[in-house]
Amino acid sequence: MKRFPNPNDFPYKSWSYSQGFMLWGMEALYRYTGDRKYFDYIMSYADTHVSEDGELLRFDGSSMDDMMSGAIIVWAYTQTNAEDFRAENFRAEKYRAENFRKACETIRKAFDDYPRNSDGGFWHARKLTGQMWVDGVFMGLMFLTKYGFYIGDTEYCFDEAVIQLKAIYDRCGKDGLILHAFSEDRQAVWADKETGLSPEVWSEGLGWYALILPQVLELMQKKHPERESLEKQYSELLHALKKHQSTDNGLWFQVVDKGDRADNWNDSSGSAMFLYSIQKAIELGIAAGEEFTPVVEKAWNGLITKAKINDEGLLDLYDACDGVCVQKDYSVYINYKKSVNAKEAVAAFLWAAALIEKGSAPKD
């Protein structure tokens, strides 16, 4: 917040998945601490993207990435529509529940004509013919499931979530892990000409999948006919992550299933995502605490070694890449430039830290 007093300035552009990802971490801080400064920070972002007549600004629905920050607009609607909020009338002239709802409906309608593969999987972007990326499953479903739970069209939203999660699992699954992407026409430069699959299990890509499974299951009805199948996917992932966790420091590798290679390295972004997901699975009763709590503890102890306090008293996060797209081979993933405070890593660390440390946070 000190670095980016205006959340619109968080990289890489004003309306993007990175804002939504980061601000959902801020939502956790607000929920766990009750500190109004987090509420105001998130709401300032929502307010600048929704006009006084409910028009959603800077949104064009051109990609799954474009859907992600819509989750924040859903949150803004739930906050401003609450009875105690209306009674309090806190800056009521700024926080307009029905306008936020109208803006959310704009995003929901963008799914109606969004292009798909033959199995129903959404393309990552309208211009990326036939390409389904695991990143996009997170981006799209973060909005859809929250829209379905808090606003409406519940049956469609959760049935769609099942379609997308099953599509990426069926196409890209690899021993409980998920390869980065699939190209239905095999024309992507990174795609195997026989299978259409990308070559590697990229840490952060798998991390998006690891994050969205608990987000969906936490909101999905217990009686949904496909809930058990999603829990099975989740369980397979958890056991695969346990298998591939580094025995040295509890983190995970940039290419997750090739940790035995000397040039592979521990990625703080994906590791934070996996840490969050495993802890969340324990809290949801999907993972056994006696089996997975040691995994969480070792991962947390490893992750905080990647966070350093600089001379200005601010936290810097090391050993992550910024904005990696699907790549053609192992060497590109391994040699991709690392950044300090990569935007995805910062947000992932915030999600993980908030969840792990919430037990010590004040509630009033």
Distance CA 21, CA 104 (A): 17
Distance CA 142, CA 170 (A): 20
Question: DSSP character for 9?
Answer: G
Tokens matching residue 324: 């990696």
pLDDT tens over the chain, length 364 residues: 999 999 999 999 999 999 999 999 999 999 999 999 999 999 999 999 999 899 999 999 999 999 999 999 999 999 998 876 665 555 554 558 999 999 999 999 999 999 999 999 999 999 999 999 999 999 999 999 999 999 999 999 999 999 999 999 999 999 999 999 999 999 999 999 999 999 999 999 999 999 999 999 999 999 999 999 999 999 999 999 999 999 999 999 999 999 999 999 999 999 999 999 999 999 999 999 999 999 999 999 999 999 999 999 999 999 999 999 999 999 999 999 999 999 999 999 999 999 999 966 544 4
Q: Which amino acid is at 303?
A: L
Question: Residue 202 — φ and ψ, nearest 5°?
Answer: -80, 135
- 132 bridge partner residues: 182
Sign of the Cα torsion 216, 153, 120, 76 reads negative
User: Residues 302-324: pLDDT tens digits?
Assistant: 999 999 999 999 999 999 999 99
The DSSP-derived string for 84-110 is HHHHHTTTTTT--HHHHHHHHHHHHHH
Cα pseudo-dihedral 81, 83, 89, 94, rounded to 10: 0
216-219 long-range contacts, Cβ below 8 Å, gap at least 24?
Answer: 216/141, 216/145, 216/158, 216/161, 216/165, 217/284, 217/286, 218/280, 218/284, 219/145, 219/146, 219/148, 219/149, 219/158
Distance CA 353, CA 125 (A): 31
Type and span of the H or E element at 247: none
Closest among 294, 297, 274, 293 to 282, alpha carbons compared:
293
Type and span of the H or E element at 164: helix 154-172
Instruction: Using a cut of 0.85, tell me whether the model's pTM lies above it.
Output: yes
